[in-house]
Amino acid sequence: MPESETTSLDYYPDGWTEVIHGPSYVEWWYNKNNPILVRVEVDDTPPDYYVTAIAGTNSKGEENHVAVMNDLAKSNAYKVAQNLMYAMNGIIHYADELCSESGSSHQSKSEK
């Protein structure tokens, strides 16, 4: 498991890449399908954190927000982000197994 470079998260799941844009904006991208990511941002007034799970983009390039949780304390935001990554991993691996059994694929358009 990769070690996080943030001070709020120790580790994140294999298969994800951590992208730190600054102290108030961090993303973790799923390596096999780049439109899948989890984002933590801070709203400075008041200093509340929010977490966004994103699963792809539409035909206009707009992000499909699966879940947005706001008004979180910093420690809770990073715990939520970590839990989302593990949950998304589980769903992706389950979908991979179903697709391999049926002979189909759930790849994004960019992967085909």
Query: In this structure, is residue 95 part of a structural domain?
Result: yes
Query: If you count them, how many residues does the chain have?
Result: 112
State the residue range of the domain holding 37.
16-104
* Higher pLDDT among residues 89 and 46, named by residue: 89
Query: In this structure, is residue 5 part of a structural domain?
Result: no
Q: What is the dihedral angle through the alpha carbons of 30, 56, 83, 103, rounded to the nearest 10 degrees?
A: -70
- C-alpha 45/C-alpha 64 separation (Å) is 26
Query: In this structure, is residue 6 part of a structural domain?
Result: no
- C-alpha 106/C-alpha 89 separation (Å) is 14
Inform me whether the pLDDT recorded for 45 exceeds 90: no
Tell me which range, 10-19, 87-96, 99-108, is most confidently predicted by mean pLDDT.
Answer: 10-19
Query: In this structure, is residue 111 part of a structural domain?
Result: no
- C-alpha 27/C-alpha 82 separation (Å) is 11
Query: In this structure, is residue 1 part of a structural domain?
Result: no
Query: In this structure, is residue 28 part of a structural domain?
Result: yes
39: tokens are 């984002």
Angle, CA of 88, 60 and 15, to the nearest 5° = 25
Query: In this structure, is residue 33 part of a structural domain?
Result: yes
Count of domains forming the chain: 1
Query: In this structure, is residue 3 part of a structural domain?
Result: no
